[in-house]
Structure 1
Amino acid sequence: MNVFAELATVLAGLGLAVALLLLNAWRAWLFLFPASVRVEPEAPGDQMELPSELEPLAARLLALGFAALGSHEEKPRLRRATRSYDFAHPGERVFATLHLSPEGLPRLYFLTPLVSGGFVITAGYKRAAIDIPGLYRSGGLEEAPPERLLRAHLKRLEGLQPGGEFTWEGRVETGRSWYRGLGQKEIRRQNLAGVLWTVAAVAILASAFLGGKPPGG
Structure 2
Amino acid sequence: MNVLVELGFVVASLVLAIVLLALNLWRAILFLFPASVRVEPEAPADQMDLPVELETLATQLKVLGFVPLGSHEEKPRLQKATRSYDWAHPGERVFATLHLGQGDTPRLYLLTPVSPGGFVITAGYRRPALEVPGVYRSGSLEDASPERLLRAHLRRLEGFTPTGDFTWEGRVEAGRSWYQGLGRKEIRRQNLQGLLWTVMALAIVVSAFLGRRGP
- What TM-score, normalized to structure 2? 0.96
Q: How much does 1:158 deviate?
A: 1.2
CA offsets per residue over residues 157-205 of structure 1, 9 Å max, x none?
1121100000000000000000010000110000000110000000111
SS in 1 for 2:84: strand
Runs of 4+ aligned structure 1 residues displaced above 2 Å come to: 1-10, 209-214
For residues 213 and 164 of structure 1, what CA distance do their matches in structure 2 show?
A: 61
Query: In the aligned structure 2, how far is the partner of 1:88 from the partner of 1:199?
Result: 41
User: How much has 1:2 moved relative to structure 2?
Assistant: 4.2
Distance in structure 1 (CA, Å) of the matches to 2:24 and 2:56: 34
Q: Alpha-carbon deviations, 1:121-173, whole Å to 9, x = none?
A: 00000111112221000000111111100000000011211000000000000
Task: Provide the residue aligned with 1:187 in structure 2.
Answer: 187
Q: What are structure 1's unaligned runs of at least 5 residues?
A: none
Tell me the SS of whatever aligns to 1:125: coil
**1:77-108 CA distance string (max 9 Å, x none):** 11111000000000000000000113211000
**Counterpart in 2 of 1:97?**
97
Task: State the alpha-carbon separation in 2 of the partners of residues 112 and 134 from structure 1.
Answer: 14
Q: 1:1-217 to 2 correspondence within 5 Å?
A: 2-213=2-213
- What is the letter of the counterpart of residue 8 of structure 1? G
SS in 2 for 1:46: helix
| 2:161 match: secondary structure | coil
Q: How big is the shift at 1:13?
A: 1.4
State how many pairs are aligned.
215
Look up the SS of the partner of 2:47 in the other structure.
Answer: coil
Deviations 1:25-57 (A, max 9, x none): 100100010001000000000100111100100
Cα distance between partner residues in 2 of 1:25 and 1:212: 25
How far apart, CA to CA, are the structure 2 residues paired with 1:169 and 1:205?
Answer: 45
Q: Identity, % of aligned pairs?
A: 72
RMSD over equivalenced CA pairs, Å: 1.4
Q: Report how far residue 14 of structure 1 moved.
A: 1.0
Alpha-carbon shift at residue 115 of structure 1 (Å): 2.0
3-state SS of 1:196 partner: helix
Gaps of at least 5 residues in structure 2 are none
